[in-house]
Amino acid sequence: MRNSQDIVLATGNAGKLLEMQSLLKPLGFQVHPQTEFFSEEVVEDGLSFIENALIKARFASAKTGLPAIADDSGLQVLALQGAPGIYSARYSEGYLGLPASDEQNNKKLLAEMSAFPRNRKACYYCAMVYVAHSEDPVPKIGLGQWCGEVLTAPAGTEGFGYDPLIWFAEPKCTAAEMSKELKNKLSHRAQACQALVAQFERTT
């Protein structure tokens, strides 16, 4: 029988799952990926990161009967008017006739940014939500933002997604060149998680 600290993590992304488990384990939560319980994917038809995170959390909670945490995150590029935004994971769908993947997403971003040699600011954004049950009317919401610049070529082999292309003035490297431990302290997801945890602390 699962204890009261069990939470289902609403994600099917292996990289995100590892990152989230690392962030949440020290807080005393027993984190279980949704794939332990079901394989269906909910349609993320929200118009914002917050809406999509809530959709995923409510779905996972309804399927499992457990409290759920979900996040929705992506990259916003100033010169591209906020793209790829909520479509970050599938930004390159159909690009060069291939399905979306991290590699294809990065290739498309580099191609789009070739027209902007100077204005290359980009921010990772994350909305993380907790629902006590699927119809929770007062979900907890944590937000995080992590800003850097888009490089002209990838650097680094760690992380996932756009990490090889996003360079940060501090600590003067890309997200893909950071250790997992450092990224988990600085990232948009870490910030959102900390903001979420602070709300638990205020209510206990």
Known catalytic residues are 72
Helical pair 188-202 and 14-24, crossing angle rounded to 10 deg: 40
Rounded Cα distance, 72 and 28, in Å: 22
CB 71 within 8 A of CB 54: no
The phi-psi region of residue 75 (left if phi > 0; otherwise alpha if psi is between -120 and 50; otherwise beta) is beta
Work out whether strand 121-131 and strand 166-168 pair parallel, antiparallel, or are unpaired.
unpaired
For 131, residues 6+ apart whose C-beta sits below 8 A from its C-beta are 54, 57, 58, 61, 67, 68, 139
22 strand-pairing partners = none
DSSP 22-46: HHHGGGT-EEEEGGGT---------
State the chain's maximal CA–CA distance in angstroms. 57
